[in-house]
Chains A and B, each alone.
Chain A
Amino acid sequence: MEETYLSDFGTILLFLIGGAVFILIGLGASKMLRPSNPNPEKLSSYECGEEAMGSSWVSFNPRFYVIALIFIIFDVELVFFFPWAVVFGQEELIRATNGTWGWFSLIEMGIFLGILLLGLAYVWVNGHLDWIKPKPVIPQSRSKIPAEMYAAVNKKYS
């Protein structure tokens, strides 16, 4: 087997080029066809009719950043899983080792997974997976619906 599969990846390149051509045609044709009469009002940022205050490149909640960090660690773990999953169920290996290969690799991965689950548990217990929950405000109105009913609904979905 001296194949190198290079031509296959040439096909992927063709797909890439095809997609790029499609996008260029779409954007180019629409640029030529459409009218263009910009004015400052049109070009202002859309904020429901209000004047936009300052730049909107603002700091956001660092929670998103923590989630991304945890994601990277799990993603790398996932990548280790792929070669394992491919060799795990191979029947000739299991037969050649009289069944021990399967158990061996399962336990091996179990240890790996266990240590990572410890990490997940740590993050979980520390509350980094909890998102900010909305605080429902009970409306003060002369509605016929009793207030307890709202409370029950809020309790059910909180």
Chain B
Amino acid sequence: MIQNVFYFLCFLTLISGSMVVFSRNPVYSVLFLILTFFSISGHYILLNAQFLAAVNIIVYAGAIMVLFLFVIMFLNLNKENETHKSNLSKFAAVIAGGILLVIMVAALKDVDAGTYKAEGFDSQIGMVQNLGMVLFKNYLLPFELASVLFLVAMAGAVMLGKKETGERHF
């Protein structure tokens, strides 16, 4: 039963993930990306990591995708005025993507994926309480450093959105 759910979710994730790339309309891409995040959350629930599942929805589907939609609306990226891309840029995109793929394969080739150990299994490990304990006991420094990262990100966001003088929008 659970195995079937897993395969179904994998299927859904892959299909919607590839639809993100293949759909012509960027708004559809965003909607498929949201669907992808939902199916990934489904995987988290299968792993009994409910907090991660909820956070995945809140942050990725709820916040980042809103920004994506904003960008699409802002840049007015819809089908009618999509400019034809030159062969050179297509070629460059293929090479860049291919290099990324090679790097990822090379990096993940020798990775030691943790295997399932029945004796050390704790079904409660993904609960919020345990996560909080781990985060604030073992990973304190990364946690505090994350806030510095946020600060930098915020400064960057503000610089990006800086308005040229004399520019007017409604």
Contacts and interface: CB of A to CB of B under 8 A. Distances in A.
B71 A65 contact: yes
Contacts of A79: 55, 58-59
B74 interface: yes
Contacts of A62: 74, 161, 163, 169
B158 A126 contact: yes
Interface stretch (B28-36, B82-90, B96-104, B141-149): B141-149
B78 interface: yes
Contact of A105 (B136, B147, B151): B136
Contacts of B155: 119, 122
Interface stretch (B13-21, B108-116, B121-129): B121-129
Interface size bucket, B side? 35 or more
A9 interface: yes
A108 B64 CA distance: 27
B161 A82 contact: no
A5 interface: yes
B123 A1 contact: yes
A87 B147 CA distance: 19
A60 B55 contact: no
A61 B164 CA distance: 12
Interface string B126-170: 001101110110001001101110110111011011010000011
Interface of B: 2, 5, 42, 45-46, 48, 50-51, 55, 58-59, 62-64, 66-67, 70-71, 73-76, 78, 80, 123-124, 128-129, 131-133, 135-136, 140, 143-144, 146-148, 150-151, 153-155, 157-158, 160-161, 163, 169-170
26 contacts: A6-B5, A59-B74, A59-B75, A59-B169, A60-B169, A62-B163, A62-B169, A66-B160, A66-B161, A69-B67, A69-B161, A72-B64, A73-B153, A76-B63, A76-B150, A77-B147, A77-B150, A84-B132, A86-B128, A87-B136, A108-B143, A112-B144, A115-B148, A115-B150, A116-B150, A122-B154
